[in-house]
Chains A and B, each alone.
Chain A
Amino acid sequence: MLQMSWLIPLFPLLSFILLVVFRKSSNENTAWIGVLLTGASFVLSFGAWLAVWQGDGIKVEGTWFQLGERAITMGYEVNPLNALMLVIVSLVSLLVHLYSKGYMHGDERFSVFFAYLGLFSFAMLGLVLSPNLLQLYMFWELVGLGSFLLIGFYYFKPEAKAAAKKAFVMTRIGDVGLFIGMVLLFWQVGSFEYDEIFSAIKNGELSQSMLTLTAICIFVGAIGKSGQLPLHTWLPDAMEGPTPVSALIHAATMVAAGVYLVAAMYPLFQASETALTVVAVVGGVTAIFAASIGLMQKDIKRVLAYSTVSQLGYMMLALGASGYVAGIFHLTTHAFFKALLFLAAGSVIHAVHTQNIEEMGGLWKKLNITGPLFLIGALAISGIPLLSGFFSKDEILMSTYADGKYGLFWIAVIAAFMTAFYMFRLFFLVFTGKPRGSQKGVHESPSVMTLPMIVLGVLAVVAGYLNTPWFGTFLTDYLSQGPVELLHADHHGPVWIPFVATAVALLGIGLAYMIYQKGSVSRDWLTRTFPGLSHVIYNKWFVDEGYDRTVVKGTTGLSWLGVWFDKYVIEGLVAGVVSGVQALSRLGSEMQNGQVQSYGTFAIFGLVLLLLIAALSGGYFS
């Protein structure tokens, strides 16, 4: 099975090519091409995963080209970490393909949408299979392209166009960091191969400061892709894309690529305490920061987007706190429940044709499949016991505590409270109470949309049992086959941590219930109590405005200056030279007036000039 794993990314590529060829076809059965081919790659991924589970692995490489004495290689590799990613990516991609068949029904560019999905899936699976950084970087950029195309799918909407551009530029800033880190590693180690880099680190070939520098550069790439703090602003705007895209790219796969990158390069991070601390702090601060913004958003997808940013922060926090397994575990469970939430949100939007939660309400009865599934997703992300989110979040908290990062631990607990609160604010506003706004002809989505949601709903419940303190730590055993040495294999923090986590989750749900369902606490209670703070949070901490005032204005000013310089200095110089030459030649042509006397005059003046020079220079023409 493993020998065929190079085929995994090629099926979606084939789907992309076929669908681009048939893009003019108005027949919506073209969707089945995408579904079937993605299904094939899911089957292969699952087979590969089973083989790796039994302790197998594969790495195939060939020389791509020779650079001096160094060979640049290409190939594929299946190890425990990326086998798990393969399954997540291909499964979510398959489900999203299926869901899109219903969601995109009637769209003019139906086939193009599926073609783009295929391109993205190809890039993402290729990224995961890469055995070296160079190949990863190429697929990394290709993934960015897929994301750009899909965010800007409704290119006739100016917001979607702007969002696509923003996503491209913001992630590119991070990519520069990754590129620098990669080149530095190549300079130091002489190879892009993970294995060689890791063995060089192990043998102490790199100085401590170089380790920290490269690790942080690579982490900058992860910050851009995973929407971590300074570069997070593109992710909420990316919600302008169709909802299945948000579920696939901006919840489960591409944004997790940053986390995957840190996990794949984990030995590098392990070698530098500073880099790990940076990862943990960025993750922790992002978690609480994004969660606080999520509290006040009015757009159903934007709440979920900020929630994604916050959960990615959690994963980074876990990785930074030596909780390698916890980070990967949360990545897995989050992929399922967040994709579920997005697809459910898409189903709601499909039904009521608005994204504003103030115009929804009372949908529980009308959407009798979507509603319970959304509730499962919300419970899972809030960390209610027995659902997947509980176990993974618990492990993150445990490892943060065990690593001695108590400040970040409490930040994560507060963020967990906020998560529960905003998820249930969303739930109560959308599904309970009286219908607000005009809801005509609201009906449940077709089964092609509900089926993927049901699959994800089941996974959102059971995925947590991959790694529990009660039934067995399957995931830990599985991941420890990989190249990463798990330093803190057993994160047995204090027993009270799960209880605290459950308590804050219930507290958040309870508060949301009191405010948005029972109304026993006024809805603007917080706004009135802290007017300044809530104003700042409502406006997303003014990060976008800050970037507008500084970076955007600065760049615009600089380009104005450049234009001015070009227009007046460079072009002025050119015009000066031109008019100088023209004046000189006009003088020359006027001197040729055909009159012997003027010729004689010029000759005399010339002679006098020559004699003057001769006299002044002492009689010699040197």
Chain B
Amino acid sequence: MSSVPLTAYLMLALILFCIGLFGALTKRNAVIVLISIELMLNAVNINLVAFAKYSLNPGLTGQVFSLFTITVAAAEAAVGLAILIALYRNRQTVNVDEMDTMKR
């Protein structure tokens, strides 16, 4: 079997998650923000798969769970992009900074 330890998977997932978080919180372009959120979701998927293989009683639950997540994420990305397009049509911009209607 491979000699890649659990820590490496977890480190990879952590780095991906942090990049995704940073992008989601700092990028001005709404599309990039959506992509960053996808990145964070996938970091979680890596975790799920890694724990499915390396936990005390390994099984397939984690892998199945990650397949579900990918499916839901696809649906979510579709909804998100649809909202984005609707927003763009309304406001003529995808800049997140200008979307502060919650304040008013």
Contact = CB atoms under 8 A, between A and B. Distances in A.
B79 to A, nearest CB: 16
A592 B103 contact: yes
Interface residues of A, number: 9
A596 B26 contact: no
A595 B101 CA distance: 8
B100 A597 contact: no
Contact of A597 (B25, B103, B104): B25
A601 B22 CA distance: 9
B101 A594 contact: yes
Contacts of A596: 96, 99, 102
A600 B24 contact: yes
A596 B102 CA distance: 8
Interface string B40-69: 000000000000000000000000000000
A604 B25 CA distance: 10
B21 interface: yes
A595 B25 contact: no
Interface string B81-96: 0000000000000001
B94 to A, nearest CB: 14
Interface residues of B, number: 13
A520 interface: no
Nearest to B24: A600
A600 B40 CA distance: 14
A593 interface: yes
A608 to B, nearest CB: 11
Interface in A591-620: 592-597, 600-601, 604
B99 to A, nearest CB: 7
A595 B21 contact: no
Interface string A37-55: 0000000000000000000
Contact of B100 (A593, A600, A601): A593
A592 B33 CA distance: 21
A601 B25 contact: yes
Nearest to B97: A595
Contacts of A592: 103
A116 B69 CA distance: 100
Contacts of A594: 100-104
13 contacts: A593-B100, A594-B102, A594-B104, A595-B96, A595-B102, A595-B103, A596-B102, A597-B33, A600-B24, A600-B25, A601-B25, A604-B21, A604-B25
Given A592-B103, A596-B99, 4 more contacts: A594-B100, A597-B33, A597-B96, A600-B25
